[in-house]
Amino acid sequence: MILVTGGAGFIGSYLHAGLAARGQHAAVADWLGSDGKWRNLARHPPAHVVRPDALDTWFATNPALDAIVHLGAISETTATDADLAWETNVELSWRLWSWCAEHGVRFIYASSASTYGDGAQGFDDDPALLPTLRPLNLYGWTKHAFDLRVTDAVARGQPAPPGWTGLKFFNVYGPNEYHKGRMISVVKVKWDEVSAGTPARLFASDQPGLADGAQRRDFIWVGDVADVIMWLLDHPTVSGLFNLGTGTARTYLDLAHAVCDAAGQPRRVEFVPMPAALHGQYQSFTEARMDRLRAAGYAGQFTPLEHGVRRYVQDHLQGPERYV
């Protein structure tokens, strides 16, 4: 059995659907709450749903696990409760790491491209470069702190899971994200605007010499993320910290045009001032270096932006089945 923390969330529920499709028993640790997040699991109910605060009891009374995929986190880039973010993103993650080390269980966890800060140090996932990174926000800092703790423990020869992988997710988009509020993907936000008959609105550039709409991010289809995680589950000897993007940055204007095209609407875009709260915290460029994951053996192809956006819009947002 595999435990997926955050398994009722966006990436976690998509991964759970993939595991269910290949007959893999999986349990989910998450808060289902009352905002309809259960719908992410409606078509593939898990073997167990465990409240995160009941994990210790569950570990003591349930069968041995083959792996933990730890995706649960305080993921809001505008989060301000540092105590909660540290307890959730660092201390809970470390307790799971330690449990896996003690019980000989594979451990895969979510890091983030936000650990790279403004990108001035590049987007190279070589662990030797970790000390040079300067995240811009609390979320990125806590993810970076856990990456540092893990790599330091491994370097010192301290107890570790028999196989472990950290994945620095870049900008993930796709179905099952509808509960995420302000953290929902730009693709979904632009579709909401375009489908309502208004132009797609993009932040004007706040960088000298960078044209409006020319900000570039590495956008990755959620299905590609799930494929990489399942590949890692099938290759338990692969360990390390890896980027997970497509390796190709695309402009926000490209994304807005892709949404308009997929929705069958004219390409109408307008630029609005960037909110003051984002000044100094906004990444105008991200692009994953994927050399190390490729060298580890992953040969899967990543979905081009236009194809992924079309699939999201036409198969889910406009289609009969919003959820996977």
Q: How does pLDDT run across 74-129, given as a tens digit for each residue?
A: 888 878 899 999 999 999 999 999 999 999 999 999 999 999 998 988 999 999 99
Rounded mean pLDDT of 192-207? 94
In terms of CATH architecture, what is 2-173+219-247+287-302? 3-Layer(aba) Sandwich (3.40)
Q: Is 139 annotated in the active site?
A: yes
Question: In terms of pLDDT, which residue wins out, 309 or 275?
Answer: 309
Give 208's pLDDT tier (boundaries 50, 70, 90): confident
Of 116, 139, 178, 312, the active-site residue reads 139
pLDDT band of residue 143 (cuts 50, 70, 90) is: very high
CA 140 to chain centre: 12
Residues 6+ apart with CB under 8 A from 201: 190, 193, 269, 270, 271, 272
Least confident of 49-63, 75-89, 269-283: 269-283
pLDDT of residue 275: 84
pLDDT of residue 277: 72
Confidence of residue 35 (pLDDT cuts 50, 70, 90): confident
Percent with pLDDT over 70 in the chain: 99
Q: What is the pLDDT of residues 145-173, one digit of tens each?
A: 999 999 999 999 999 999 999 999 999 99
Please say if 180 is a catalytic residue: yes
